[in-house]
Amino acid sequence: MPYPTDRQRDRPWVIRTYAGHSSAERSNELFRRNLAKGQTGLSVAFDLPTQTGYDPDDELATGEVGKVGVPVSHIGDMRALFHGIPMAEANTSMTINAPAMWLLALYVAVADEHDAPRATLAGTTQNDIVKEYLSRGTYVFPPAPSMRLITDMIAWSVANIPKWNPINICSYHLQEAGATPPQELAYALSTAMAVLDAVRDSGQVPPERFGDVVARISFFVNAGLRFVEEMCKMRALGQLWDEITRERYGVQDARQRRLRYGVQVNSLGLTEAQPENNVQRIVLEMLAVTLSRDARARAMQLPAWNEALGLPRPWDQQWALRMQQVLAYETDLLEYEDLFAGSHVVEAKVAELVADARAEIARVQEMGGAVAAVESGYMKGRLVGSLAERRRRMESGEDVVVGVNRFDTTEPSPLQAEGAAAIETVDPATEAAAVEAIRAWRASRDAPAVESALAALRDAAKTDTNLMDVSITCAKAGVTTGEWAGVLRETFGEFRAPTGVSAAIASGEAVGEIGVVRERVRATGEELGSRLRMLVGKPGLDGHSNGAEQVAVRARDVGFEVVYQGIRLTPAQIVAAAVQEDVHVVGLSVLSGSHLQVVPAVVEGLRAAGADDVPVVVGGIIPPEDAATLREKGVAAVFTPKDFRLTAMMNEIVTLIRKVHQLGD
């Protein structure tokens, strides 16, 4: 029944916009403008060097500084980022994982300078490292020390910043990596169980406080276009979370067991073709996580309509913000009890999802839990296989994507009439300024204090001491992101996660188009005297490897021998592998906007190595103007999200190889 008065309307969820780019100063301006427009929480996007623990002047940071988020290299950057923002009142979400402890240490250090009591600090650090191994790729350390950092953060946060969510278990990227709804539920909950087990077994939290740990675990989910199923997925997640925390961990307080989750709707589902269609996609996906009161999101951020084209402008982000505000304040949604209580259809779908998720959770637990299932490659292989099947359905037309594989005739879009000005661009001088600034910062600080703080961090990392306090000391001493991560790299080592490509099942199209291309690959190999070999490379720090993995799987399906070494490679490493493996083509995948720096470096490296007969092709979110520049610099072909037919792409690549070797058509 409806509530009788407006005073009894539910409070809206926390309304956020995911934002940050170029520099801390520019991002601060954007934050304050968004707050003035009615945004009720901040969601900080960090650039890839920050996310992976590098300073702007590191070789791997080339082309990546300030591109997909804000660079935060030390306490000075964090001060600038939150200048004029009352941290005791803010609700801040930070999308940060491997160096989450470091960014939280910087945040706490600046809050101390603001005289904001630590007990007032509210917000979230994403901090789900398991999904980084499976999907997003911004991991640094091996699983065991990564879980140690998470455990330390949770234990410290519960004791010192009780309003803070030290982790949100992030199934968002699992869906982007191919997870079906049951897999998304199962792998997210398996990760939560691994985290809770680690905290419990560490002995850092007294048993009587364990309910407080559970109460601060949040989730971050993806909402796709099958919005009825997505809504049922959230009801299923709430049911399973309540069951697990009650039965496995003995939490008796229902308030501590309550599912708390934030949302960003499906960014990778947005299309480059007819991007105006993305507006209705975003609205429908938002409904999936708001319509059901019993499974409603606690916080939400929406992408902009043009994110498949590049970085959105402030106006584009404002449009996304207004979508939330219209739903929250103009409609009557928040005046009613749950709209789906008692629905036979919803109850049946929720029961199905719960049963399927329980079965997959059981399989993961039999393997030893989420970490073991990551290390064995099981979960990654399942995701790559699921995504390959999803792509097959889209390419065949079985799954309709409006404007892409059906209804693709269109009028010119007035929203794109401005050309390149229709997206935000990062000034190329941003990176040079950041490099100069980090060197000036190192030169101006108290060097003995820095060395002392880093030595204390190094010593503590070799013991089981909680690393939060020593990290805060490092932050206040002026230690940089690269230095903090560098000390832990020395102690913990680094890690390369399984790619899942070898475990993925072929698409099953033994005849038809795949069969034709497979024959061309075989014949071309015979003419050249060896099987065709393709190197698929991810230069720079971009860890979104889904596209590269699908290209690698399809290349293998059509008969190429595939060399794929995973993410985070320098151009020099890619060139060396291409020469060593004597490949016939190099395919590069870049989604971070660094293509104008890292791709030409590979082309030039191949020329210098005498391998200029190896064509380089590149795929990613690449504006037409940049694609033309890349071709001028020697790139043989550029593919963007509109080129979704991977088998046709393979056919074009075979043609390029034949042309280079003068084999005719």
Q: Which residues are catalytic?
A: 18, 172-173, 538, 542, 544
Report how far residue 343's alpha carbon sits from residue 190's, in angstroms, rounded to the nearest whole number. 29
Coil, helix or strand at residue 55? coil
Query: What's the rounded Cα separation, in Å, for the pair 62 and 542?
Result: 12
What distance in Å separates the CA atoms of residue 260 and residue 219, rounded to the nearest whole number?
6
H runs (alpha helix) in 413-557? 429-444, 447-461, 468-477, 481-492, 513-528, 546-557
Angle between helices 143-160 and 468-477 (to 10 degrees): 80
Q: In 3D, which of 459, 465, 448, 466 has the Cα closest to residue 487?
A: 459
Cα 49-53-56 angle, rounded to 5 deg: 40
Which ranges constitute the DSSP H helices of 251-313?
A: 254-257, 278-288
CB-based contacts of 625, cutoff 8 Å, min separation 6: 419, 420
Q: CA 88, CA 128: separation in Å to the nearest integer? A: 25
Question: Which residue reads 């720090």 in tokens?
Answer: 541
DSSP reduced 3-state for 563: strand
Strand 14-16 and strand 18-19: pairing? unpaired
Q: How far apart are CA 564 and CA 577, in angstroms?
A: 10
Q: Number of C-alpha atoms within 13 angstroms, CB side, residue 555?
A: 26
Can you tell me which residue has the tokens 């065709």? 532
Distance, in Å, from the CA atom of 466 to the CA atom of 518, rounded to the nearest integer, reads 55
Q: Are 71 and 65 in contact (CB under 8 A)?
A: yes
